[in-house]
């Protein structure tokens, strides 16, 4: 990876990186297409990062399909795939971690202790190895996107971090590798997340800005489909500070359990 990056830069060409954990879907392909529009060389990393999973989380059963992923990358015109082994990224004696403090608090940061430290660490490693001019991330993991953007700024890494809109199934469900865990009836119930967000957006368009009312539009859908709420929060779109009124660019974020599967989604307001 380092040799490819060095040769690309020596030739005066732009390199784009699309970091993924594999099990690729149309959402990932949209990131690759954007990367292709912004650079001469597109690299996709496929690495299920152990440091961002908690002890009770789904690292061992996280869905994997390397052969299928490579075929999708080839069809998308990707120039190279970086697929390191865990022991290459975290060799014996590894003891250095990176943390984005404020943006990693609250939301998924509170529910998944250590998660964003693992994300920040592996992204720093990927940026150091690939030395991309631009990196493309999806907005579904909105807190992650803002943390990575801050990471690049604060450490002067010189990587333009681009966020791309959520890609959804025809019925509105946000595309996610974890959707593979859902049984057919759970898949139907999971639509409550996108329905709730859409209802809140409709209310906002009609002039509703009260945070409680907007959050309740989402919670009502979760209750109707018997999903277990993890959080429903209205936040400032840049700082992630909690808001009681959508009187500035804001984001409504939701996390909920469908059976044992935890799904996240979000939508912009304003």
- Kindly list the catalytic residues: 28
Secondary structure class of 270 (helix, strand, coil): coil
| Angle between helices 115-130 and 142-154 in degrees, nearest 10 | 50
Quote helix, strand, coil % in the chain, to nearest 5: 45, 20, 35
> How many helices (H) and strands (E) are present in the chain, helices listed first?
10, 8
Nearest to 102 by CA among 210, 236, 244, 231: 236
Nearest to 19 by CA among 75, 83, 79: 83
Q: How far is CA 199 from CA 203, 243, 249, in A?
A: 6, 18, 18
H/E run at residue 232: strand 228-236
């Amino acid at each position: 990876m380092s040799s490819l990056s060095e040769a690309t830069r020596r030739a005066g060409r732009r390199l784009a990186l699309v970091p993924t954990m594999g099990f690729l879907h149309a959402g990932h392909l949209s990131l690759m297409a954007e990367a292709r529009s912004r650079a001469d060389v597109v690299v996709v990393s496929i690495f299920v990062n152990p440091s961002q999973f908690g002890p009770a989380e789904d690292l061992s059963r996280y869905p994997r399909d390397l052969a299928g992923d490579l075929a999708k990358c080839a069809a998308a015109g990707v120039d190279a795939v970086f697929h390191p082994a865990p022991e290459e990224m975290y060799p014996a004696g590894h003891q250095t971690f990176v943390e984005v403090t404020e943006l990693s608090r609250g939301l998924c940061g509170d529910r998944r202790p250590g998660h964003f430290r693992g994300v920040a660490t592996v992204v720093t490693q990927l940026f150091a190895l690939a030395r991309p001019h631009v990196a493309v991330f999806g907005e579904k993991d909105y807190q992650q996107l803002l943390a990575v953007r801050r990471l690049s700024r604060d450490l002067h890494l010189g990587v333009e971090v681009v966020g791309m809109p959520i890609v959804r199934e025809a019925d509105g469900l946000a595309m996610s590798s974890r959707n593979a865990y859902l049984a057919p009836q759970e898949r139907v119930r999971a639509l409550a997340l996108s329905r709730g967000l859409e209802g809140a957006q409709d209310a906002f368009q009609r002039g509703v800005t009260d945070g409680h009312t907007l959050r309740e539009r989402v919670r009502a859908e979760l209750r109707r489909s018997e999903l277990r709420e993890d959080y429903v929060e209205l936040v400032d779109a840049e700082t992630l500070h909690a808001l009681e009124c959508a009187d500035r660019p804001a984001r409504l974020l939701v996390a909920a359990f469908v059976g044992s599967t935890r799904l996240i989604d979000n939508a912009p307001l304003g």
